[in-house]
Amino acid sequence: MTSIQVAVDNGTYQEPDKTTVSEWLDDWMETFCAVKVKPLTYSSYETAIRTHIKPAIGALKVQAVKGIHIQKLYNSMIASGSSAKTVKNISAILHKAFSMAKKQGMLQMNPCEAAEVPKVIQREIKPLTDAEIPLFLKAIEDNPMRNAYALCLFAGLREGECLGLSWDQVDFEGKKLTISQQLQREKKKNGKYYIAPTTKNGKVRKIVPPDIAFQYLRAERARQAENRLLAGELWNNPHNLVFTTEIGENLAISTFYKTFKKIVAEIGRPDARPHDLRHTAATIAIASGADVKSVQDLLGHATASFTLNVYTHTSDQMKKDTAARMQNYYDNLGQKKA
């Protein structure tokens, strides 16, 4: 009674609550997440909670969770082979859930604040080299998804942005693309495909890719027109997508990925991913002398500093070009004095 009275006087008294972590997470997901987060994000939360969080601390009462419990969860995940990025994602979910529990008066402090998340090591970016780009373009020449791969390469689009691009967003006359949506699939068995905003804040970006990107888009327009004619009544393209199957349906993301892996294996780059086409576009833009702000706009990054952090690597040619420009500057200084 004395300790309770002291806690009341100090403002640290906590009303006893028997809610377990599992129960609270279910309630939090249903009440606070279902109406706020995107379907794909909600699905990823659900999977993370079921796979990692509940088995480790689900049986504990929310009020009994301490920083050490959270830390042991992180440590066990790393020990079992989870990446630091996966652990960071789990940490973000827990922090949000316990933060809301605190707002609801269930906790005095968020236990996540007493645990340390492992540092995420940035994966080394490996764009296609100058020698590999022609090999890649030759390898995709007869592939049905050639034009989609080429657009990712020349316009720096993400996979979902490319596969979710509609003809309404292609301005052939103005040579611009409007990027405002992406193709996504529900993260569950037999999950359905749907069109979602391309960014978390829903911000639309307009980009001006090189002319060669529109050559491939024109080729795709002709290809699709032929397929539509052959498909007749079977044609089904409700979102007016640029890249479709022979009957107008969206391309499967898994097929897009697996086919790409086979292609890059043929040119000696089995480690490459479709996203590396985007990295290649960014690297070429920077190597061509584009300013960081322009590259940021092309890629749709939130800040120029993020773009700089991602593309800190430079090619040997870029280094030589920089050295040559500096030498030219100093040479001109000497001529002016003379």
Would the pLDDT of 203 be above 80? no
Query: What's this model's pTM, rounded to 2 decimal places?
Result: 0.72
CA atoms of 106 and 98, how far apart (whole Å): 9
CA atoms of 107 and 61, how far apart (whole Å): 11
Q: Cβ–Cβ contacts within 10 Å for residue 309, how many?
A: 11
Q: How far is CA 237 from CA 223, 224, 242, 293, in A?
A: 14, 11, 9, 36
What stretches of the chain adopt beta strand conformation (E)?
170-171, 176-179, 181-185, 193-197, 205-207
17-114 CATH fold: DNA polymerase; domain 1 (1.10.150)
Residue 323 pLDDT level (bands cut at 50, 70, 90): confident
Tell which residue, 175, 187, 247, has the closest CA to residue 212.
Answer: 175
List pLDDT tens digits, range 44-69: 999 999 999 999 999 999 999 999 99
CA atoms of 309 and 311, how far apart (whole Å): 6
In the block, which residue shows the tokens 């990027």?
179
pLDDT at 6: 55
Residue 155 pLDDT level (bands cut at 50, 70, 90): very high
Burial of 208 (0-12, 13-18, 19+ CB in 10 A): middle
List pLDDT tens digits, range 82-139: 888 899 999 999 999 999 999 998 998 999 999 999 887 767 788 899 899 999 999 9
3-state secondary structure of 247: coil
Q: Give residue limits of the domains in the chain.
A: 17-114, 132-318
Assigned CATH for 132-318: 1.10.443.10
What does the block give as tokens for 28? Answer: 């939090």
pLDDT at 330: 84
